[in-house]
Amino acid sequence: MGTSGDMGDAFGSLCGGGIISILIAIGVFFILRELVCWYWKLNELVRLQEAQLTALKAISEDIRTLLHGNEGKLNEGEQWPTHETSQANDIEQ
């Protein structure tokens, strides 16, 4: 039978091998993830959506400024028009 030192060495090498295996698996995951994102152009799609969001926010602020002056702020008691209020105004006219 082995001594306690032998068991410690076996346990140490088992843990070391497990840690190395986990690190290799994580590395492979990140490499495969980048390949998938590149192939399906996901990174480009996200970048384009972020640019669209920025442009839409700027347009929204411009519309608020044009409609309501006061740097786009509503006067007391006013509400932003919604789809329902727009339809009601169309019916009244």
| pLDDT tens digits, one per residue of 52-79 | 999 999 999 888 888 876 555 666 766 6
Give 3 or 61, the one with higher predicted confidence: 61
Show me where the domains of the chain are located: 9-40, 41-74
- 8-46: pLDDT as tens digits: 666 666 677 888 889 999 999 999 999 999 999 999 999
17: left (phi over 0), alpha (psi -120 to 50) or beta: alpha
By 3-state DSSP, what share of the chain in percent is helix, strand and coil, each rounded to 5?
Answer: 80, 0, 20
Four-CA torsion 70, 74, 77, 81, nearest 10 degrees: 140
Q: Which two tokens stand for residue 17?
A: 């091998």
Question: pLDDT value at position 60?
Answer: 92
pLDDT at 65: 84
Tell me, what's the pLDDT at 84? Answer: 66
| Cα distances (angstroms) measured from residue 72 to each of 47, 63, 64, 66 | 28, 8, 4, 7
For the whole model, what pTM was predicted?
0.47
Please tell me the number of Cα atoms within 13 Å of 71 on its side-chain side. 0
> For position 68, what pLDDT does the model report?
76
- Which tokens hold the place of 49? 């959506």
